[in-house]
Amino acid sequence: MLVVAIGGSPSQRSRSGVLLERAKHALQGKGVEVVTFQVRDFNAEDLLHARFDSPQVLNFLQLVEKADGVIVATPIYKAAYSGALKTLLDLLPERALSGKVVLPIATGGSIAHLLAVDYALKPVLSALKAQETLQGIFADDTQITYGQGNAAAQLDERLAERFEAVLTEFHQTIASRPKPVDPGVLNDRLLSARWSI
Ligand SMILES: Cc1cc2nc3c(=O)[nH]c(=O)nc-3n(C[C@H](O)[C@H](O)[C@H](O)COP(=O)(O)O)c2cc1C
């Protein structure tokens, strides 16, 4: 199973990034391969000039195509997802999320924009034909405390519990998807079906 994790924060120290990192470790613990892309690690010119053919962008597109699941984590900026995230999502082809399970994650300064994922991010995921977009998780900044020095950030108890449940749901949804039949196996099946007619 492959999951592509997309971080939409321009900030190096990032609360949505903390949740994305936690998700990555939790899924890896369940045997899932997770590849993370942070929007801030892309060449800004590739994003602003929509260079679909840049090697970095092509690598991203290929991995999204192969992925069973995609996690999209974003800070809430001006009552929506970050503009930086949108420049990356805009490079995806129209059906990029078709057949994939998508988990949205957002962090915001207050709960006032709790619904931004529903009214802003989810329509974009739906335009990319996400097969199944989970409810996801929203955390406000008071629920994630950065550690001192190299210490890991702490989630408050309620958030930690909710997040674990959300990740379990995400993993189970991906695991229960019908698996595409390997082309070699499909060929054998078709041949044997012909002989049995
Ligand atoms: C430019 C900017 C705009 C923001 N706009 C909002 C907003 O409209 N609503 C909100 O709840 N928080 C807003 N915030 C707060 C961030 O969403 C919040 O601190 C978030 O956790 C940051 O995520 P990050 O640490 O992953 O970058 C804004 C922060 C910045 C820097």
Residue 179 lies in a domain: yes
pLDDT bracket for residue 181 (50, 70, 90): low
pTM above 0.85, yes or no: yes
The number of domains in the chain is: 1
Residue 197 lies in a domain: no
Nearest CA to ligand 1 atom 1: 77
Residue 133 lies in a domain: yes
Over residues 153-177, the pLDDT tens digits come to 999 999 999 999 999 999 999 999 8
By residue range, what is the domain housing residue 107? 2-192
The response to whether residue 115 sits with its C-beta less than 6 Å from ligand 1 reads no
Q: 152 C-alpha vs ligand 1 centroid, how far in Å? A: 21
CATH number at residue 59: 3.40.50.360
Residue 83 lies in a domain: yes
The response to whether residue 98 sits with its C-beta less than 6 Å from ligand 1 reads no
Residue 48 lies in a domain: yes
Query: What are the backbone dihedrals phi and psi of residue 64, each rounded to the nearest 5 degrees, phi first?
Result: -60, -40
Residue 149 lies in a domain: yes
Distance CA 110, CA 141 (A): 7
Residue 157 lies in a domain: yes
